[in-house]
Structure 1
Amino acid sequence: MISQPYHLYVERSDPTRNMARYYAMSIEPNLFGDICLLRKWGRIGTKGQMMVHHFGREEEAVLLFLDLVRQKRKRGYRPQACLSQ
């Protein structure tokens, strides 16, 4: 059982480089009781790609979640209003 919700949606845009990217993450349980970190990324307006990481404990998923948040902030991604996921 997840103690609190973990959701993130960030974007990075640079019109001079024709760059418009998004990155979304969430921590959710699967049907078997495992904790999963779902990552989605791509160009804004496209389906993009998805990766799922499976963990036995929520703490492990949260550590990776926070590490990825730091990496994305360093690369220039900033929070935006999430219209759909």
Structure 2
Amino acid sequence: MTAIYLERREPAHNRQRFYTLTVVQTLFGSWMLIREWGRIGHSGTVRETGFETEAAAIEAGAKIRRQKERRGYRAVNRVEAAS
């Protein structure tokens, strides 16, 4: 699963937030859902949650994405700067 990047921008309230969801496999064969969130342009808070299967991690990520979208976050296509 590629990373899902969500943003919530509300200039009237000075809100510029991001939320990233990524599912990765660990060295031991289990799966991790990595969540990062915070203010755009700043380093965010990171939480990792372990799962037995990839499907369980993806399901948990999808649930969080639905919750965030209900709160006004929208998926954004980001282009990473090449170095």
TM-score (ref. length: structure 2): 0.89
What amino acid maps onto 1:40 in structure 2?
Answer: E
2:14 corresponds to: 18
User: 1:79 offset after TM fit, Å?
Assistant: 1.3
Q: Does 2:39 correspond to 1:58?
A: no
1:34 corresponds to: 30
What amino acid maps onto 1:15 in structure 2?
Answer: P
Superposition pairs of residues 66-81 of structure 1, within 5 angstroms: 66-81=62-77
Q: How many residues align?
A: 80
In the alignment, the residues of structure 2 paired with residue 35 and residue 55 of structure 1 have an alpha-carbon distance, to the nearest angstrom, of 5
What amino acid maps onto 1:77 in structure 2?
Answer: Y
In the alignment, the residues of structure 2 paired with residue 57 and residue 8 of structure 1 have an alpha-carbon distance, to the nearest angstrom, of 19
What amino acid maps onto 1:19 in structure 2?
Answer: R
Structure 1: gaps (5+ residues):
none
Q: Deviations over 1:48-82 (max 9, x none)?
A: 10000001111211111110111011000011122
What amino acid maps onto 1:54 in structure 2?
Answer: G
Structure 2: gaps (5+ residues):
none
Taking only aligned residues, the RMSD between alpha carbons, in angstroms, comes to: 1.1
